[in-house]
Structure 1
Amino acid sequence: MRNTRTILLFVTLISLGVLLAVNFFLTERDEEQRLIKPISKEIQRIDGEFDADFLQLLLKNRPEEEFSFTNLTIDSFHSYYLFSESGKLIYWSDFSFMPDFDWINPKANQRIMEDKRGIFFSKVRRFSRNNQGYWIIQLYPLYFKRDFQNQYLESGFNSEIFPSGLKSISAIQEEGLLDVKGSKGEFLFSVYFDPDQIPTEPSSRFALMIFFFSLFFLVLLVTRNLILGLWRKGKQVKAFIAASAVLVTIRALMLAFRFPKDYFDYKLFDPSGYASSWINPSLGDLFLNITCLAVLLAMVLRIIASNDFKNWLEKRKIKKDSRLFLIIAYLFSTLFLVLFYALYIDILSNSQWDLNILSLPSLDWFKVVSLSIVFLGGAGYFLFTVLALELVFYNSPLNKSKALYIIIYFSVPIVAVLAYFNWILMVAYLAHFIFLVAVINFNLYRYIFTIGLNTFLTFFFGCLIAAIITGVASHQVYLDRNFKSKASFGTEMLVENDILAEFFLSDIIERISQDIFIKNSMTDLLMRKELIEQKIRKIHMINYFDQYVLKVKVFNYFGENLLDRNNSNTLQENEIQFVKSDFATSVKDLYFIHKGTEGDGNQYFAFIPMYKDDVFIGTVFLELRQLRIVPGSVFPKLLIDEKYMAGMNDKKFDYAVYEEGELKYGVGLFNYRAAGIEKLLDQSILFSSGIYKGKFHHVGVKEQDKVVVVSSPVYPIYYILADISLFFLGFIIFTLGALIIGAFSKKIESLRFNYATKLQLYLNFAFFFPILIISIIIVGLFTSSYQEELHRQYLQKTSLVTDNLSPVIEKRNSGLLEKDEILETINNLSGNANTDINLYNNEGILVSTSQPNIFDKKVLTNYINPNAIVELVEGQNNLVLLEEKIGNLTFKSVYSAIRSKDGQEVQAIVAIPFFESETELDLLIADVLSNIINIFVLVFVVFLFISYFVSRNLTFPFKLLTQKLKVTGLDNNEPMFWPTHDEIGLLVNEYNNMLFKLEASKKDLASSEKESAWREMAKQVAHEIKNPLTPMKLTLQHLLRLQSEGKLDDPKKLKQPLETLIHQVDTLSDIATSFSSFAKMPKPKKELMDFKQVVLGTLELFKNRENEKIIFGDLTEEGNLPVMGDKQLFGRIIANLIINGFQATEPHKKSVILVFLRVIEDQVVLEIKDNGKGIPVELRNKIFMPNFSTKSEGSGLGLAIAKRGVETEGGKIWFETEEGKGTSFFLSFNLVEEIPVQ
């Protein structure tokens, strides 16, 4: 075997070396080729997809047909744009970017196109249809140029094509740059890499990965043999130390070399998702660490569960120490509870995701791995607690009631303290307390290492306890995060600057300074100056500033107010008052003054210099005073830069502002005036953890005399229960998987389930799968229904907006409205509908929008989604809902056609984007799941208990039959009665028939047994008598020889032979007495007796011995132990076993007999253990044989009589021995119950 392993290791090492050598010599070593090959390969693939799209486009549009959006819309790989030869845009497939026709150069084969939006790989072609020429431009982004960057819009080089380290892209060949070539070797473009940031070679990564895992498996093979060898030799501690050293070394090396994070691009090892410490720099590292700890803990638990450790511990336990052992086990179990709780808190506190019912719709691998880590922690807590309590009660005189008193004694003050300080921790500890009580009261440790009904119930109960702990821990994390969000939100309310307002005002200032209409109005003496204010209010100011009171002043070159000539307030006076360094912001020409009251809130002042043809013509002055902040205000997510997102709180809370204990104003649904929150402002708990009042949770943030109270609805109790149910189901799935793996690790043939277990499993599965399928169907139906309802709301809102815009469009077409008036109407509708509105003409060109920043920032173009043209204009539909994507943001948009009065012609198209569509749907799905999963788990647990009692009821007849069969013998057999004629009734009838047949054959068997018994007795008597007769004969012959020699007169020579004869005669007398006793042994009685009293009565006989000691341990909880049998016979058997134990002790050693009384699975078990020298292996099969004895004297019938007497009474007798340490004899008898016989 060792040679095979050595050869295997050698072959593995040689194969590894050959693989690495081949990889080294065959891999392209040219640095330039190494970098450019994968880029060229990807570009060639994209170029081929360009050709495929173009071919599909040509096949769909026949030469004789006119172009239409319907025919030009294909399922393409990449975006494409169609122009006429005159430069007119015919079709666009992507509405987020629009190329310029000036890019097209017929004389050049352009492959790289660049503008202020980015750099693109392109393909430009010319083709003809109906004798007209057309140009098609196909684009693929290589580099994104953006003024801002966030989680939805990335900036920089396209990471799908280029590795890290790329610095620039060039459309021409340059020295020092690497050329990207097409499939035919033609030049496409060139790239330049920073020499200091060149990425690792992929082939080197592959070789490194092969090397690491090969080395890892080699180490595992070598150390596995070492560890298993030590374990099988009984050196478990050394095996544990070796395993610890190996695992710690491997993990330390991986952490030191930052493997695999620095070598492979695995998101599981990316610290951006999770990072808690240098030991756990990523979720993958945490999983590996927990797995290693789980392996080591499994070894420790295996050692604890072994009989050797139990015996070692038993020798060191005395009666007084049992309570101490229980306290130690309780403290360590509580420590594991704390570690398990802290593990869950650590994962959620240091990760970017949640583990609760709200996160279930967006389940991914990170959450599954996190849940598996939590499961391993819970499994360690569960197994350690159960096995630790098993050690406490192993051969211990400590009874259950005393143990429970000790647990309650320690738990009551802990629960009281936790109830005062933190109710969540109290619930977690109560779950721990219930778990301890259940383990002690129901002896759950008996079912850990067996496969049966009680095993599944025990593990399911453990899953429920762990789910309660993690469920309340999840709520603790939610409360902590909610408190921090509220504190952050309240701090923002106290912060002087409105960061988002400054961000929007910077754009507004820029647009106003470039507005031609405002410039012309300021310089044209005949134009009304009030139109300047109207345009600023209705066009330039967005909905976000609904929370501000706006004042507009326009000053001319001389600083005079053009809007109010009677107002003596000049520009210079305003500049002296507001243009100060203390009021300056990060935005040029914008100043901020913090007030802090509802009537006189925070204020912004903007001084916008206006230039016309580089000549200063005046200043536009804006004054904005903040009234309130609307929690549900709409703003375009795509416009928020990361630097602004970091300082923003996207939670929607109600809040109120108090100054000197008086309510200034409140925002939201909560009625602060009626709730009397001002009475709570002096309580410190409002600011430390928050207060629950009026079904809301309130948190206060204080700054001097000003207090902001932030409120949110209480987390629903059914969500907490749903979290517990979710963890319960997850843990059950992991547990069943672990049990299946454990079962398959053994031989399948060795797995045997009893009838009750099979019945329980069948019942559970018969319920589980139908309810699971029904739940999945219901979730699917509700999800579809909610999605349809959500879409219906979107369509309804869009229809209302369309109905309000239809007359406006009619007036515009009639020339009765200006463009600015349309924009005013759109802004009003947008504010009322709380959504963004875009208006396009019937050709798909943007006319007006309530959110111009999206288009000004070039996030979207002025062109509509072409699918809207297909559906509304060409398809003649009135409404269409489309799923759209910009960057990484996926959302829904509804397009509605505004038709002419006759309903035939599409005059305009209304587009409303719903950026929150995915979030809203996830919340609705989570709400449905929370209810369904609660019902599912509740019904599952109820049916689990019901099926348990049903299986017990169904298996009761078999237990009854088993008891009857156990006591079935040749005497006193009573027939059974079963009232129904079912399968059980047939079995009972067969049993009764068997009794009649047994009675008939009993007489024949009795006579045959008597004959064989007397033959055996005669044989034994002859054998026993023959043994002393031989020395007697030799002694008499010796006496005759002495007589013939005349030496009988010598007393010395005569004394020894006579003593020999007397000794042998005594031996014959003992043999006769033994056989006489055996023959006269009375017939065993069948009577109900208390076996515990028989044992105690027998032990009284040996109470006052000086050199022998008996220690009795009553490990039963029952007051009496009723069994059927002969009281006198049992007493003689027990006494004989104790005497044998005394006699087995070596002369120089004090005899100590340990007597333990237990109840195991409806059987009473008596153990009598001595400290003798044990029984040799070669003699163990002869112990119960008649005439066999290890002593120099005796008949060897004691154990034979004991065995016969025990088995006659339906019991069992066996022994366990260890040479040099002693022998334990066991007696077991069935406990009986009084069963009514009908």
Structure 2
Amino acid sequence: MTLSFGVKIRFLLLVLGCCLIVTSISLSRFTTKNDLLDRDAKNVQENLLVKERDVAAFLSDKEEVKKAKQLHVNPKDAIDFLNIYRKIKGINLFTFQNNQLKFWSTYRVTDIDPRTIKEGSSVHFLSNGWYEVIKSTQGDFSLIFLISIQSQYPFKETPYFKNDLDPLLSDSKLLTLASFTDKDVYSIKDIDGKFLFSLKVKPGFIDNYYSTTQLWLFVAGMLSICMFFNSLASFIARKGHIAWGTILLLIFFLSFRISDLYYGWFNHRFPLDLFDPRIYSESFLMPSLGDFLLNVFTLTWLLLFMYNHKEQYKFGKWIRESKVLGIGIHALFLIFIGTITYFSDEIFFGLIYNSKINFDIINILKLSGTSWVSIVILCLVWFQIYLLTNITATVSKQLKVTNKERLIVFLTGFAAVFIYKLSTDFTAFFIVFALVFFIVCRSIYKENMRFSVGLFAIVFFCLAFNTSIKYIKYKDITERSLREPLARKVQSSEDPNAIVALGSLESQLLQDDFLIRYFNQNGKSNYAVLKNHIKNYLDGYLSRYDYQIYPYDKNGLDVSDANAQAFNKYKSLVESGSVKIDGANYFYQVNNTFGYQDYFGIISVVNQGNLLGTLVVELRSKPYNYNNRLPDLLGDQKLIRDEDFRGYSIALYSNNKLLNQSGSYTYPLDGMVFKGKKDDFVTSSDNVLDYSHLIYKPTDSKMVVIS
């Protein structure tokens, strides 16, 4: 049997798709750790040699060297050097005369001593990273060139500060500097062949590694297979078997999505952010935003196939000639489209409510990649509803039903929904959607109706209007739901992150020799020096606490601070029931606080078994005021939570008397205007200033208001 050219092309698509997928899989299977190391490390070696040649060319040019010695007095040449060598080539220069610094091209390195650096090239750790240092001494002048290799900050990595290779040396996120104990390494040498440093693959990085080529090969393979099944289904449909063609394509897409959801052969193969459930997760069918996108994409493809063959869908003759069945089918189509629209609405509510995606479309510049993906999904869903409406309207044209009867069915359904909405939650959403539905169906049912730009613009405007209505409503629901846990958090006297930090603070203070020296001097040392020393321990998470320190001698008398609290006060707090925090022996939490956290520590300073004195550290949380705080760029991002309060105003009331407030809203001194209920959340509005208040009363006497 001779196959036609069209059949051959279709099977070539299938073969091509399978080959692309196999190639993608084989690349990941046969790409070893050493292959990746050799590839990226060779790139580092080549880029480093280019920089070294630039330095060598600079030093061999007497005019350039002469200019370098005058950079500190010649701003024009200095700016030219910065623009060419620092910005473009990633090379910095320090000049010294008689070991005195004259010129520097970067402020990132300050701890250079030319006397400790040997001539030629070497690798040094300087303040915030590793550098190749090239020194050239000419008379009393020393030129020291710095080529950044890798950052290494003296604090924990954050999203803003990462210990990666210098981007001008390599954009690889796979490699890092190796130590002498590492085995699988790649040695980097200088231009003379002398060893400088070694590189290795980051631990655990290889497990999640994939190349862009692998991803696109896999995607191209899947698209080719989808095109094969689409072509095959179209071939079957053109042979007069439209139902079998549609079923074939439906089974293929269902198999594709369900098998992927069960076994993760696509969404788990590539660790993309789109498939991260921490960003969005709804259900088994939509465990991530990427799966949501794939579901919408496959359904859109199926509907486009049906749309292209909509004229081929036929009812039986006995159905076409029955008016009762025709009206019933119209009613079923109307209910079906309404149901699809309702569930689409619920799904998008879940997308906004159950995700961490920014939907602030007013500030378009701040939209992330996931935000744009969500917008694309929204557009595709509206497109699906349009296709579905067009398909059902076209198919129903063959029924023995007049346009007048269709209008009656439509108006009856609209009236039923209108009455239902009046008794539940009335919104303009269904009215606008009904208008869109009416316009689309009218353009199909009315014979010889030409395409109208005006009608198209009306449909587009209605869809945009509906989207904005729903977004505003869902954003308001989400925002109100977020304020409830914030209200509980504000009135809570517990701060788990502070408890962890205080445990670490206690360990540091107990091992601090400075305290022993301070108390050995029996209060003759400067109190400000002690306070500044303790401040160094409070620059992390505890920086959001106001603190006081009080030193006492072994008899409980204050040593240096005339305004110190009586030592018996803290003894009384312990005796009256202050709770010792977990993970610490000397820090306590004060009970019965409202809207703030209050901790104190009683640290005994002991030297060789003798009590020298006692240091009391008292910490009280600052009022929540996001706008007055600096960004926590250097902080542990897992502990940063105050951004939850951004944009809110907060007030604390006790017995209807204002205790504290923060934010832009000015609260009344008397809290009687806020009608709260115990253990319940009540909302009220300030129509004059356009504020919404959430009122929460944990007890009869205490009240939190978040606006």
Structure 2 counterpart of 1:413, from 414, 419, 431: 419
Q: Say if 1:708 and 1:331 are closer, same or farther in 2 by CA, change over 3 A.
A: farther
Q: 1:266 to 1:557 in 2, by over 3 A?
A: same
Q: Pick from 225, 235, 241: which aligns with 1:229?
A: 235
Counterparts of 1:102-117 in structure 2 under 5 Å? 105-106=117-118, 110-111=122-123, 113-114=124-125
**2:668 alignment partner, SS class:** helix
Against the structure 1 CA distance between its residues 591 and 130, is the aligned structure 2 distance closer, same or farther, given a 3 Å change threshold?
Answer: same
Instruction: In structure 1, give the amino acid aligned to 2:364.
Output: L
1:476-533 Cα shifts (integer Å, max 9, x gaps) = 3322332233223212212213567668878988999999998777555684876578
The 3 A distance-change label for structure 1 pair 22 and 556 is closer
Partner of 2:340: 336
Query: Residues 497 and 135 (structure 1 numbering): CA distance in 2 closer, same or farther, change over 3 Å?
Result: same
* Aligned partner (choices 477, 482, 489) of residue 480 of structure 1: 477
* Aligned pairs for 1:540-579 within 5 A: 552-563=549-560, 569-570=566-567, 574=571, 577=574
Q: Does residue 687 in structure 1 map to residue 681 in structure 2? A: yes
Compared CA separation, residues 506 and 23, structure 1 to 2 (3 A): closer
Q: Which amino acid aligns with 2:37?
A: I
- The CA deviation at 1:431 is 2.0
Shift of 1:193: 5.7
- Report the counterpart of residue 141 of structure 1 in structure 2: 150
Tell me the residue number matched to 2:246. 240
Match of 1:150 in 2: 158
| C-alpha deviation, 1:232, in angstroms | 1.2
Question: Is 1:655 the equivalent of 2:650?
Answer: yes
Pair 1:217 & 2:216 matched:
no
Match of 2:696 in 1: 701
Code of the aligned partner of 2:463: A
User: For residue 700 of structure 1, what is the amino acid of its counterpart?
Assistant: I
Q: Is the contact between residue 177 and residue 199 of structure 2 (CA under 8 Å) also seen in structure 1?
A: yes
2:66 pairs with 1:63? yes
In the TM superposition, residue 352 of structure 1 has moved relative to its aligned partner by 3.4
User: In the aligned structure 2, how far is the partner of 1:629 from the partner of 1:529?
Assistant: 33
**Which of 356, 366, 369 lines up with 2:360 in the alignment?**
356
Report how far residue 169 of structure 1 moved.
Answer: 0.9
**Residue 638 of structure 2 corresponds to which residue in structure 1?**
643
Query: 493-502 vs 631-640, which deviates more?
Result: 493-502
**How has the CA–CA distance of structure 1 residues 158 and 259 changed in structure 2, closer, same or farther, with 3 Å as cutoff?**
farther
Aligned counterparts of 1:432 and 1:444: Cα–Cα separation in 2: 16
2:90 to 64, 78, 81: 78
Deviations for 1:979-1002, whole angstroms, at most 9, x for unmatched residues? xxxxxxxxxxxxxxxxxxxxxxxx
- Counterpart for residue 489 of structure 1: 486
Going from structure 1 to structure 2, the CA distance change for 1:631 and 1:356 (only over 3 Å counts) comes to closer
Secondary structure of the equivalent of 1:409?
Answer: helix
| Counterparts of 1:104 and 1:511, CA distance in 2 | 33
Q: Which protein shows a greater Rg? A: 1
Aligned-partner Cα distance in 1 for 2:549–2:24:
73
Task: Give 1:368's aligned amino acid.
Answer: W
1:369 shift after superposition: 2.9
Partner of 2:184: 177
Task: Kindly indicate whether the alpha-carbon contact (under 8 Å) linking 1:590 and 1:605 is maintained by their aligned counterparts in 2.
Answer: yes
State the distance in 2 between where 1:471 and 1:25 align.
47
Q: Distance in 2 between matches of 1:672 and 1:40?
A: 61
- Secondary structure (helix, strand or coil) at the match of 2:677 reads coil
Alpha-carbon distance change, 189 to 282 in structure 1, aligned in 2, over 3 angstroms:
farther
Q: Which residue of 1 aligns with 2:401?
A: 396
* C-alpha distance in 1 between matches for 2:90 and 2:610: 47
Counterpart AA for 1:82? F
Q: What residue identity is the alignment partner of 1:153?
A: F
Conservation of the 8 A alpha-carbon contact between 2:306 and 2:391: no
Deviation readout 1:190-212 (Å, 9 max, x if unpaired)? 45569987458979x95796577
Corresponding residue SS for 2:613: strand
Partner residue, 1:593: 590
SS class of match (1:67)? coil
Question: After superposition, where does 1:242-281 map in structure 2 within 5 Å?
Answer: 242-255=248-261, 258-264=264-270, 266-269=272-275, 271=277, 273-281=279-287
TM-score scaled by length of structure 1 = 0.48
Structure 2 CA distance, aligned partners of 1:588 and 1:299? 71
Quick check: 2:580–2:586 contact (8 Å CA) kept in 1?
no
Letter in 1 for 2:241: K
Q: CA deviation at 1:679?
A: 4.8
- Map residues 14-25 of structure 1 onto 2, 5 A cutoff: none
Partner of 1:632: 627
Task: Answer yes or no: is the 8 Å Cα contact 2:678–2:698 preserved in 1.
Answer: no
Alpha-carbon displacement from aligned partner over 1:750-779 (angstroms, at most 9, x marks no partner): xxxxxxxxxxxxxxxxxxxxxxxxxxxxxx
Aligned to 1:1205: none
For the Cα contact (< 8 Å) 1:521–1:528, is it kept in 2?
Answer: yes
Greater CA drift, 340-349 or 9-18:
9-18
Q: Post-superposition shift, 1:472?
A: 2.1
* Structure 1: stretches of 5+ with no match in the other structure: 713-1238
The alignment status of 1:374 with 2:386, answered yes or no, reads no
What is the CA-CA distance between 1:374 and the residue it aligns to?
A: 0.9
- SS of 1:124's partner is strand
SS in 2 for 1:682: coil
Among 286, 294, 303, the alignment partner of 2:300 is 294
Deviations 1:1172-1199 (A, max 9, x none): xxxxxxxxxxxxxxxxxxxxxxxxxxxx
**Among candidates 461, 468, 474, match of residue 471 of structure 1:** 468
Q: Distance in 1 between matches of 2:536 and 2:19?
A: 73
SS class of match (1:699): strand
The answer for unaligned runs of 5 or more in structure 2 is: none
Whole-Å separation in 2 of the counterparts to 1:520 and 1:24: 65
Q: CA deviation at 1:370?
A: 2.2
Query: In the alignment, is the contact (CA less than 8 A) between 1:287 and 1:373 conserved in 2?
Result: yes
1:520 and 1:175 map into 2 onto residues whose CA distance is 42
Q: Does the Cα contact within 8 Å between 1:544 and 1:633 map onto a contact in 2?
A: no
Distance (whole Å) between structure 1 residues aligned to residue 213 and residue 620 of structure 2: 62
Structure 2: how far apart are the matches of 1:660 and 1:301? 66
3-state SS of paired residue (1:154)? coil
Alignment of 1:672-751 (within 5 A): 672-673=667-668, 678-682=673-677, 687=681, 690-694=683-687, 695-705=690-700, 707-712=702-707
Partner SS state of residue 632, structure 1: helix
Taking a change above 3 Å as real, the CA distance of residues 146 and 339 of structure 1, as seen in their structure-2 partners, is farther
Paired residues for 1:1067-1146 under 5 Å: none
Distance 1:447 1:34, change over 3 A: farther
Deviation, structure 1 residue 11: 7.2
How far 1:590 moved relative to its partner? 3.4
Equivalent position of 1:1034 in the other structure:
none
1:673-718 CA distances to partner (integer Å, 9 max, x unpaired)? Answer: 379664521399x716x33234211113342335543433xxxxxx
Please give the residue correspondences for 1:824-903 in structure 2 after superposition, counting only pairs within 5 Å: none
Displacement after TM superposition at 1:40 (Å): 1.8
Would the aligned equivalents of 2:13 and 2:227 in 1 still touch at CA under 8 Å?
no
- Kept in 2, the 8 Å contact 1:240–1:300? The answer is yes
The residue type equivalent to 2:681 in the other structure is F
Which residue type is aligned with residue 162 of structure 2? E
What is the distance in 1 between the residues matched to 2:263 and 2:394?
A: 43
Change (3 A) 1:583 1:103: farther
Instruction: Flag the 1:214–1:327 CA change in 2: closer, same or farther, 3 A.
Output: closer
User: Residue type of the partner of 1:228?
Assistant: S
> Is the Cα–Cα contact under 8 Å of residues 81 and 138 in structure 1 kept in the other structure?
no
Contact 2:99 2:142 in 1 (8 A): no
**Matches of 2:23 and 2:332, distance apart in 1:** 59
Secondary structure of the structure 2 residue equivalent to 1:680:
coil
Cα distance in 1 between the residues matched to 2:561 and 2:367: 61
- State the secondary structure of the residue aligned to 2:362: helix
Q: Describe the SS at the equivalent of 2:297.
A: helix
Deviation at 1:140, TM superposition (A): 1.9
CA distance in structure 2 between the aligned counterparts of 1:78 and 1:411, rounded to whole angstroms: 67
Q: Deviations over 1:433-478 (max 9, x none)?
A: 33345567xx23347997x442x33333222222222212222332
Query: Are residue 50 (structure 1) and residue 51 (structure 2) matched?
Result: yes
Identity %: 16
